[in-house]
Structure 1
Amino acid sequence: MARDAARRQGRGLSVAQVAEKVAEAAGRERETQQQLDAPAETEIGPFATDPEHLAELWAAKHAEWQRIAALLETSGEQAYDPEQDPQGVVWAKEREARRQGAVDRHATWMRERQDAKDELRAQVWLPADTSRRLRAIAARAGVQPEQVLAQLADRVQMNEDGAVVVAPFTPRCEERT
């Protein structure tokens, strides 16, 4: 976050302005570290910022502004251009790749959730004689009784008058996905 923020905020800043950013970040880093080291005088509320996170963030921002200042000094450029920052460009690409990966994983998860909503899982209690017939059919076909029921459900149709019918079929060992 610190790298990304510095790249965005630093665009077009002069060497002197970057030096001001370094000084500001150093001061904020000191302040947040002092707050972290001092005993808590008040209880932290539910909407308060995590002091450890804030201290780490300012330390990272300070380091990034120092890096940008050093880059300007070594390159001789008068203003910061994020596109001319080789390390910054690499980090930005890595960050974008991580972001895109997260977006892709989320999209996959959402599709799986939708597929799961479309699935039906049922527990069926059958009378003993029906259960015995189903087990015998499944055994002859070399499949589990649940697979016979799933194949039966795949083939079920409804007539115009609302009657449920299934054409005769032979249960087969199929891969279910």
Structure 2
Amino acid sequence: RWHRYNVVSGDAEADGSRKAVPEGTDYAIIRVIVSNEGARPDLRFGGSNPDELDMISFSGMAKSKSWKITPSMEDIQDVMEEAGPKKTVLAIYFRQPFVLDKEGGLLDASAILATFGVSDASIMDVLTGKHNPSGKLPFALANSSEAITKQASDAPGYAEGDTLFPFGHGLSYRSQN
């Protein structure tokens, strides 16, 4: 239990299977982490394999060898289907800008939280209204991989038609004074 909320873990079982979303679930909150566990160990500063540098959309990373999405895109999509996209909250750890592409279906979630290493308690405090969210994006998010490819590398942000969320985007429950 989390205060007055009943929290059910959706972690995978030892055999790799996933528990079904319990009937009557109010919301599914999914913490999403992207890492480079499958990348070559000789890469000095980490990152994806050189042949997968342009795979920064979630649907592209799900098919790659050097990117690892946890939980898997398949599990995220299954939970969203079971609970319903409008009852799904994604808390994505953005260690760098990723593309939330339409193919991945993540944009259908009722809320997407950009997190940067925050605790479960902090996420619950924001979702339950105990704490007013006040963070802002430290970078712009493009709406497609193509937008990143055509953007000049020395120019900040993306063209208006290519921007999903601009630099500094953030929402609050109440106005900030």
The verdict on a shared fold, with TM-score over 0.5 as the criterion, is: no
Structure having the higher helix fraction is 1
TM-score, normalising length from structure 2? 0.19
- Identify the structure with bigger relative contact order (alpha carbons < 8 Å, sequence gap 6+): 1
Larger Rg: 1
- Normalising by structure 1, what TM-score? 0.19
